[in-house]
Structure 1
Amino acid sequence: MNVTVSVNGVEYTRDVEPRLLLVHFLRDVLRLTGTHWGCDTSNCGTCVVLMDGEPVKSCTMLAATAERYEITTVEGLERDGVLDPVQQGFHEEHGLQCGFCTPGMMLTARALLDHNPDPTDEEIRVAISGQICRCTGYATIVRSIRWAANNSGTA
């Protein structure tokens, strides 16, 4: 079937199988490999992208169902060579180790800050609670998101 999906502000029309998952459409068809694929059960949150600004787990969503939405991947966060404050925060506060969960964490953080520009550390922890990081212990991730909240006008 033909599917037209808007990803990072660009419309893509591709012929795909109706059962193709959004994560595979992004990675394998569009070659946007920043979206990671972890568990296929929506437990890890590695595959999170934004759909009209809301975090969704792309491993349990069909590409065809994304047709009427704007999808944002981690590649879509930076603008004109300038990192999004969330990306800069992860750099400044060392919010990653292996980096596997990082794209999903960043997109979840972006959605949080879009809805709540000054969240508490507890609100940050609740927002990222649907994602698993096996490396950091979350302290640096929370600090990274806090940095982004505090520096949203400077990055």
Structure 2
Amino acid sequence: MEQRLNFQEKGPGALKGLFQIGAYLRKSPIEESLRTLVEFRVSQINGCAYCLDMHSKDARLHGETEQRLYGLSAWRETPFYTDRERAALAWAEAVTACHVPDETYKRVKEHFTDEELVDLTLAVSNINTWNRFNIAFSNPAVVGTYQPGQFG
């Protein structure tokens, strides 16, 4: 695959809002470790190499274990995640698929306040947008270059 448009260089105005969302989410009541797991899982679903590299490194920086990262694509079949994390992962997968069954909503509401659920949905939407930019404007040369904590 060859390098395409450098969207961060050519579209800084368009990306300003995404960076602001990221800054908002860093102050959210959603714990950073959970947000990073969700970002990693959504990036797995979407196949975004850059974001997988980024979020795996950030997850490790914040104390995430290798076992939980390796098992994330099979989170339903492993005992490594809390009920709150499982609810968030189910929500993230449903929102990413653009189909949120009532059962998924009921489950996530058992573990998240209304404000947290809005922030969780924003986090899922934000990483989906970043995944789409990175996939559309592929730049294989940068995959693997992310340094933990580079963007905050």
Q: Could you state the TM-score of these two structures normalised by the residue count of structure 2?
A: 0.25
Structure with larger RCO (C-alpha < 8 A, sep 6+): 2
Name the one with the larger helix percent.
2
TM-score (norm 1): 0.25
